[in-house]
Structure 1
Amino acid sequence: MTARADRPNRTNQLSTHGLDLRYGDRLVIGGLDLVLPGGAVTAIVGPNACGKSTLLRGLTRLLSPAAGTVALDGSDIHRMPARSLARRMGLLPQQPVTPDAITVEALVRLGRYPHQRLLSPWSATDQAAVDEALERTGTTELRDQHVDQLSGGQRQRAWIALALAQDTELLLLDEPTTFLDLRHQLDVLDLVSDLHTESGRTVVMVLHDLGQAARYADHLVVLQEGRLAAAGPPSEVLDAALVKSVFNVDCQVIPDPETGTPLVVPRGRARRHATAVAG
C-alpha cells in the first residue's frame, strides 16, 4: 500500500507533555515529556513492567491521562473525533481479542471501518486494501479459515493484516513479533521497514529484543520504571552503560556485522561473576 496522493502533508509527530498514566491508584508512567518523530520508525524498549505497553495505550487514547497531554501534530488526541483519529492512527494491541467464529478475511475487513460511511457499499478500494494486507502478511491462503483455529503465529499475522488494511499514516504495534518464530519475526520487521520506506509511514512499536530494535528503528525510546531513560538514534543512545543501568546486564555493545547498528552481546556467566567479585 503506497501513500495516497489525497493525503494532506502532515508530519504525524506524536508528543507527550507531563503525561501521567495510572491504573487505579498505581502510577505507571509519570511526568513523561516525549517527542516521537514523524516519518520515522520508533522502537520503545525497556525491562518488563516498565510501562511500554501502557505508554502505547496512552498514545492511542485507549487509556486516558491522569495528567498531561498526548498530541498528534500539536493537537490533543482526546479532542479529536474518534473516526478522524482512526483514519490516521492504527493499533495492534498486545493481546487482541478475536471475535467468535470469524474468518481471517472478515477480521481484516474490520480494518476498513474508519473509511466507511453510513449506507456506503463495500468498494473495490476496500477490497484491494484487504487483499494487499493479506498478501503482505502471508495470510492469503488463510483467508477462509477461522481465526480461533489458527496457530499463535498465524493469528498474530492476521491481526497485523487488519492493522495494514486500515491504511493509516501512523501505525502503532505492541510487541508485533509475539508468538512468531525467528523467520516470521524478521518478516514482520522487514514489512514494517518496507511500509516506512515505500510510503513514509510513521511506525511506533514496542519490542523486547534490543538488537532488533537497534537494527530496524530510526529512533529508540528507553523506559525505566515509567520514566524516560534515553531517547534518540540507536547508535547514539545504546551503549553498555545504558544496558547495565536499565536492564542490569553486563554486556558489550558492538557493531552488527550485517548492518553496523548496535548489537548487544551479554557477557558470559563466568565473566559476569568475575566482574561482580572484582566490584
Structure 2
Amino acid sequence: MTSTTDVNRLAAHSLGLRYGDRTILEGLDLELPGGAVTAIVGPNACGKSTLLRGLVRLLDPAAGTVTLDGADIHRMPARTLAKRMGLLPQQPVTPEAVTVEALVRLGRYPHQRMLSPWSKADQAAVEEALTRTGTAELRDRQVDRLSGGQRQRVWIALALAQETDLLLLDEPTTFLDLRHQLDVLDLVADLHAEAGRTVVMVLHDLGQAARYADHLVVLKDGRLAAAGPPTEVLTAELVESVFGVPCRVVPDPETGTPLVVPRARTRAAAAAPASASATAPASAAASASVPA
C-alpha cells in the first residue's frame, strides 16, 4: 500500500457533533493520514456516518473544529471545498429518469461558472470517471434501472468527475452481495494505488476494512476507541470490548491482514454434530426424562 503524505490530511480537534439536543460525538481528537485509505468502523449507532458528515461540512460542529491540511473547513468557500473533497453519501437518492452520463456530469458542478459553456476539460473528466468505474457502456441507461452494484459504481463516477484528491464514502458496500462488495472495494483500491487518492470510508465488515485500509479508526459510543494500522489496532481484546463479540484474530490466508473469527457460543455447540439430537436413540431420550 502507498505510504502516507502530508497532503489531504483531515483532522478533528475536540470535535462535538449532535442532532438537536442529542449528542452523537463528543471531544473527538483524530487525524486521518493523507495519501492513505482509512476505514471507519464501529457498532451500529456509534457515530460513524455522523463523523463523515462532520468531516465534509454537512453537519456543523457543536464544539471543536475540522481542518484540511491545517485549514478550518468552515472558513473555506463551498466551491473550494467541493474541489478538494468528493462524497458518496449513504443510500444516495437518484433523480427520476436521469441517465448515467447526465448524473456523472453533475460532478463537474464545482468547476462550472455562471454562463460558462461545457468545456472539453469537463467532458474529459466525465469520460475518465466513466472509464475508471467501468460504466462507460451504461452511459445512456437510466440509473434507477441499474443493479445495485452498477448504481454504486455510477455514484463513485460522479464523485470522481469532481477530480478531487480526497474521496469520502459512506458505507459504499451496503445492500450489495459479496461479489459487488469486492468489486467496489477493488475499485477504491485501484483509485488509491493508480491515482494516489486519499480515501476515507465507513465500513461494517472488519475483515474487509483490515484488508483494504492502511489506517483504521474504531468508534464506540461516540468516542474514539482506537486508531492506527489494522495489524496494530484489530485485536481480540478490542473486538470484544467494542463489539461485545468474543473472537480470535488470525492472519487472512490470502493477504496476511487481520481476520476476525467469532468464537462459538458454547464449546458443546461447537463440538456436537448438528444432527446429534435427531439421531439419538429414542430409548435414551425417554430415559432422560425418568427420575432416578
State the TM-score, normalized to the length of structure 1.
Answer: 0.91
Task: Give the 5 Å matches for 1:176-191.
Answer: 176-191=172-187
* 1:138 has 2:134 as partner: yes
Partner of 1:269: helix, strand, or coil?
coil
What residue number does 1:277 align with?
A: none
Q: CA deviation at 1:178?
A: 1.7
Q: CA deviation at 1:40?
A: 0.7
- Aligned-partner Cα distance in 1 for 2:58–2:268: 41
What residue number does 1:19 align with?
A: 15
What residue number does 2:210 align with?
A: 214
CA RMSD of aligned residues (A): 1.6
CA contact (8 A) 1:156 1:178 kept: no
What residue number does 1:231 align with?
A: 227
CA contact (8 A) 1:243 1:251 kept: yes
What residue number does 1:80 align with?
A: 76
- Aligned-partner Cα distance in 2 for 1:199–1:35: 22
Q: CA deviation at 1:78?
A: 0.4
Q: Select 2:237's aligned residue among 224, 234, 241.
A: 241
Gaps of 5+ in 2: 271-292
Q: 1:225 to 1:126 in 2, by over 3 A?
A: same
Q: 1:72 to 1:273 in 2, by over 3 A?
A: farther
Q: 1:138 to 1:199 in 2, by over 3 A?
A: closer
- Aligned-partner Cα distance in 1 for 2:6–2:246: 42
- Aligned-partner Cα distance in 2 for 1:189–1:147: 20
Task: Give the 5 Å matches for 1:1-279.
Answer: 11-271=7-267
Partner of 2:46: helix, strand, or coil?
coil
- Aligned-partner Cα distance in 2 for 1:10–1:116: 29
- Rg larger in structure: 2
State the TM-score, normalized to the length of structure 2.
Answer: 0.87
- Aligned-partner Cα distance in 2 for 1:268–1:137: 40
- Aligned-partner Cα distance in 2 for 1:271–1:215: 29
Partner of 2:211: helix, strand, or coil?
helix
Identity %: 81
Moved more, 176-185 or 224-233: 176-185
Partner of 1:259: helix, strand, or coil?
coil
AA at the equivalent of 1:269: R
